[in-house]
Chain A
Amino acid sequence: MNALKQVAAVSLMNLRSVPQRWSTSLVIVVGIAGVVGVLTAILAMGEGFRATLGAAGKEDQAIVLRSGATSELTSGLGRESVDLIARSAGVARGGDGQPIASAEILVIADLPKRGTGTLANAPIRGVQPGAFELRPEVEIVAGRNFEPGPRELIVGRGAASQFEGVEVGARLAFRDADWTVVGIFSAGGGAHESELWGDAETVMSAYRRGGFQSVTVQLEDAAAFEAFQAALADDPRLNVEAQTLRAYYAAQSRQMSMLINVLGYAIGYIMAIGALFGALNTMYAAVSTRAREIATLRALGFGGGAIVASVLLEALLLAVIGGVLGGSLAWLLFNGYTVSTLGANFSQVAFDFRVTGELLLQGIAWALVIGFLGGLLPAWRAARQPVTTALRAL
């Protein structure tokens, strides 16, 4: 009990003197805020990328590509294969008794990016009516759905914000004709929001393609995947591979997520080491300017433990302030900030930075570790200095 009282007394005294030493204390706060801010921002980018691709990945749906193809863009399927796939075992049937499936074609158009005006790859997906049954999260938020026949497109929210002049009623010129944008859709934040959708047959005839690239099917349930896969493998007329949508999107995002995580943590660790030196420096300075004060306290009977605890407490408090500051800055500057990059289908994927509560807590944890390590050695030193030498110092 007595020890606790001592700690409280010394800590309060320390903290009261922090404003007098604000410039040195600021070093800890700024240093840690920098580390936490950068780390949080980079990881928020990875979080957003994963969330975007993850939202499209379902366990009870499967995508079928030509054997060997790693993405829709590198795949190709003939019309006969498409029918065989849709009618395979394991595929769920809708109210009309027809299998729930959508054979799709994914092509790319060069559209100018907003802001810079440079041409970037916009993904255009030709879909069959089943696509909307497969993706109930797709919702028209402005305008109406496209109709088969005329060159009409609906545009995902992400694509509409990334590319210039994409709005309801706009005409986009690509592949020998104008296409009219008739609607904007949302897709639960998923990757489809980066795409432009039209009718599969219309897109195919415009791009003079004779086949599709993928077939997405609704399975009876997640367990039916194996039967579905086996049925495809057993059919000698087919040369295709199926994977669940979850597995497919996980694979598509793996490399990018890994890059962001490796980058984030590598930079975070290196910066943390730098901030650690800053914290050590500051706490050493704080201890050395108060050497006589500390010695006096010890002479009065305060224990070494109380001194150590109070110095540590000061370091931790400054670290938490830095951590909160850095996290808040990252949140203010980056939360919801939309960027886009080249995805696995060689086309732009738009995603938002997501500064989650978990990331903010993680940032505070980093701050505490740096503060603790940075305060420990100076605290130790302060407590161990012989009282007489310290009193005589200066």
Chain B
Amino acid sequence: MKYFHLVWAGLFRKKVRTVLTLLSVVVAFLLFGLLQSVNEAFSAGAEQARADRLITNSRYSIIEMLPISYLPQIESVPGVKEVSFASWFGGSYQDRPVQFAVFPVEPERYLSTAPEIELPPAQLERWRETRDGAVVGRSLAERNGWEIGERVTLVADIWPQRGGNNDWNFEIVGIFSSPESEQNEGAFLFQWEYFDEARQFGRGTVGWFIIQVEDPDLAENVAQTVDALFANSTNETKTQTEKAFAQGFARQFGDVGLIVTSILGAVFFTILVLTGNTMAQAVRERIPELAILKTLGFSDRAVLGLVVAEALALILLGGLVGLALAAGALGALSAALAGFGVQGISTSVVLTGVVLMIALGLIVGLPPAVRAMRLKVVDALGGHQ
């Protein structure tokens, strides 16, 4: 660190060039921060999913419904701790398709299989008593400015009410939080009883069952037993861990990861060429200077270190500014991006970024540094290099 001023001086020897290089590094890491955060949001569902929770849906496809009468049978399978159910409601809110999950559920039952959701007991009590009561996640409530006591109308697309009315009215009676993951706070839950009585068709069916097992090791067994129960019935089931379910679903969107990786690859290759060129040029111009350093008694290794440090400083400086910009941009766009589950920059993105910066710095800095190290003082001062 005692040579910091030397590194710094070397870096800003040609201000315009360094600033321009710095800016392209900033741009590269700005893109990295943005794209990687989007990528992470897409796979987040699978990462947060639990291994001790199973999802049972129709074997034929996830749009087929299952009879609610399966519930007691699933409950009686050994190893099953709690069972709840939910359905896809969809619909639209204020003329736009809902950007959040809307599920009709049975309040206590659902919360028992979703311990990550925290709802104050008084609000749960109120929800149970209110036929058209709904509870919403904190971030969803904030996004829409909803408060307890407010009335909200969702327009059905799949589920009209008896008589053909598409408007479903709800009273918001609770706001839950989910400290583990803000993504869970984007849900809108309402009473299954209200849903089942009022809907035009499909009475007595649910979209899927959620099974909490006593022990994650039992998950495989329980899944097989449940599916065996309903094999050869009119509604065969497919039971898998929540994780497998979420992964399968994410994959259906197409390979977001592949696209993001290709783009980042192109970006970083460009940056590599650019900064590599700048570093090589900087060293070439400073050959007499470096020779003087060596004459003064700097060891070969110290000269190597100085040049590598310069490259690292350049990329770390640009990279950190880029990541900071990405964090700012994601913050500013958070409302628009919340529908996609993007919630700002995460520690893991920052850490991956820093590792990448160090790797880039070494790749770019080492070749000219080795060249500087091997300089023969006499040749360099004589101008023969």
A residues at B contact (CB < 8 Å): 23-24, 26-27, 30-31, 34-35, 37-38, 41-42, 66-71, 73-74, 76, 107-110, 113, 116, 118-121, 174-175, 208, 239, 267, 270-271, 273-275, 277-278, 280-282, 284-285, 339-342, 346, 348
Which residue of B17, B61, B254, B263 contacts A109 across the interface (Cβ within 8 Å)?
A: B61
Q: Which residues of A contact B263 (CB under 8 A)?
A: 38, 42, 267
Residues of A within 8 A of B269 (CB): 30, 34
| Closest 9 pairs (CB-CB, A-B) | A274-B27, A341-B254, A108-B61, A34-B270, A68-B166, A281-B20, A74-B157, A74-B158, A277-B24
Which residues does chain B contribute within 8 Å of A271, judged by CB atoms? 27, 31, 267, 270
B148 within 8 A of A: no
A107 to B130: give the CA distance in the assembly, Å: 35
A27 CA to B364 CA, complexed, in Å: 14
Known: A120-B251, A281-B21. A76 touches B201 (CB 8 A): yes
> B30, B164, B277: which contacts A24 (Cβ < 8 A)?
B277
B166 adjacent to A67 (CB under 8 Å): yes
Of B30, B155, B248, B266, which is within 8 A of A270 by CB? Answer: B30
Q: A120-B252, A277-B20, A284-B20 are in contact. Are A27 and B274 (CB under 8 A)?
A: yes
**Are A69 and B157 touching (Cβ within 8 A)?**
yes
| 22 A-B contact pairs sorted by A residue (CB < 8 Å) | A27-B273, A31-B273, A34-B270, A69-B158, A108-B60, A108-B61, A109-B60, A113-B251, A120-B248, A208-B234, A239-B164, A267-B31, A270-B30, A273-B23, A273-B27, A277-B21, A277-B27, A278-B20, A278-B24, A278-B270, A342-B252, A346-B63
A146 and B68 CA atoms in complex are apart in Å by 36
- Output the least CB separation between B262 and chain A (Å): 8
Given that A281-B17, A284-B16 are known contacts, is A26 also in contact with B155, CB under 8 Å in the complex?
no
Q: Tell me, in angstroms, the Cα distance from A318 to B251 when the chains sit together.
A: 40
Contact A37:B266 (CB < 8 A) given known A74-B90, A277-B24, A284-B20: yes
- List A contacts of B59 (CB < 8 A): 110
- Tell me which of A41, A120, A274, A284 contacts B28 (CB under 8 A): A274
Given A24-B277, A31-B273, A34-B267, output 7 extra A-B contacts at Cβ < 8 Å: A68-B155, A109-B60, A109-B61, A267-B263, A271-B27, A274-B31, A285-B281
Is A68's CB under 8 angstroms from B160's CB? yes
Q: B60's contact among A42, A110, A118, by CB below 8 Å, is which?
A: A110
Q: Which of B30, B61, B201, B255 contacts A121 (CB 8 A)?
A: B61
Residue of A nearest to B255 (CB): A339
> A284 touching B274 by the CB < 8 A rule?
no
Task: Tell me if B219 is interfacial: C-beta within 8 Å of chain A.
Answer: no
Binding site for A on B (CB under 8 A): 16-17, 20-21, 23-24, 27-28, 30-31, 34-35, 59-63, 90, 92, 97, 155-158, 160, 164, 166, 201, 234, 238, 248, 251-255, 259, 262-263, 266-267, 269-271, 273-274, 277-278, 280-281
Nearest CB on B from A81, distance (A): 12
**Complexed CA–CA distance, A349 and B279 (Å):** 47
- Whole-angstrom CA separation of A71 from B283 in the bound complex: 63
Contacts of B248 in A (CB 8 A): 118-120
Cα distance, A270 to B157, chains bound together (Å): 39
Residues of B contacting A34 in the complex (Cβ-Cβ under 8 angstroms): 266-267, 269-270
Contact B61 A66 (CB under 8 A): no
Question: Smallest Cβ distance from A284 to chain B, in angstroms?
Answer: 6
Q: Report Cα–Cα, A34/B267, bound state, in Å.
A: 7
CB distance from A75 to the nearest CB of B (A): 8
Do residues A278 and B274 form an inter-chain contact, with CB atoms below 8 A? yes
CA of A281 to CA of B277, assembled, Å: 10
Give Cα A118–Cα B92 distance, bound, in whole angstroms. Answer: 30
Q: Chain B: which residue is nearest A25 at the CB level? A: B277
Of the candidates A31, A118, A270, A273, which one forms a contact with B251 in the assembled complex, judged by CB atoms under 8 Å apart?
A118
Check if B157 sits within 8 Å of A277, measured CB to CB: no
Provide the residues of chain A in CB contact with B30, threshold 8 Å.
270
Q: Is the CB of A281 within 8 A of B61?
A: no
Closest to A210 in B: B201
Chain A residues closer than 8 Å to B17, beta-carbon distance = 281, 284-285
Would A23 and B31 count as touching, CB distance under 8 A?
Answer: no
Interchain nearest-CB distance for B42 vs A (Å): 12
From A68, A73, A340, A346, B254 is in contact (CB under 8 Å) with A340
A68–B165 Cα distance when bound, in Å, is 9
| Residues of chain B lying within 8 A (CB to CB) of residue A282 | 277
Q: For B24, list chain A residues within 8 Å (CB).
A: 31, 274-275, 277-278, 281
By beta carbon, the residue of chain B nearest A116 is: B251
A366 to chain B, nearest CB (A): 14
CA distance A113 to B281 in the complex (A): 50
**Chain B minimum-CB-distance residue to A279:** B20
- In the complex, the answer to whether B63 meets A108 with C-beta atoms within 8 Å is yes
Determine if B277 and A274 form an interchain contact, defined as CB atoms under 8 angstroms apart: no
Tell me if B280 and A23 are in contact (CB < 8 A).
yes
CA distance A76 to B160 in the complex (A): 10
Nearest CB on B from A239, distance (A): 5
Which residue of B has the minimal Cβ distance to A280? B20
- Select from chain A the residue with minimum beta-carbon distance to B281: A285
Q: Contacts A34-B266, A110-B61, A341-B254: A274 and B20 contacting too (C-beta < 8 A)? A: no
CB distance from A254 to the nearest CB of B (A): 11
Q: Are B21 and A175 touching (Cβ within 8 A)?
A: no
Establish whether residues B166 and A274, one from each chain, have CB atoms under 8 Å apart when the complex forms.
no
Contact status B251-A26, CB under 8 Å: no
A313 CA to B244 CA, complexed, in Å: 57
CB-CB under 8 A from A174, the residues of chain B are 60
Measured between alpha carbons, how far is A67 from B157 in the docked complex, in Å?
8
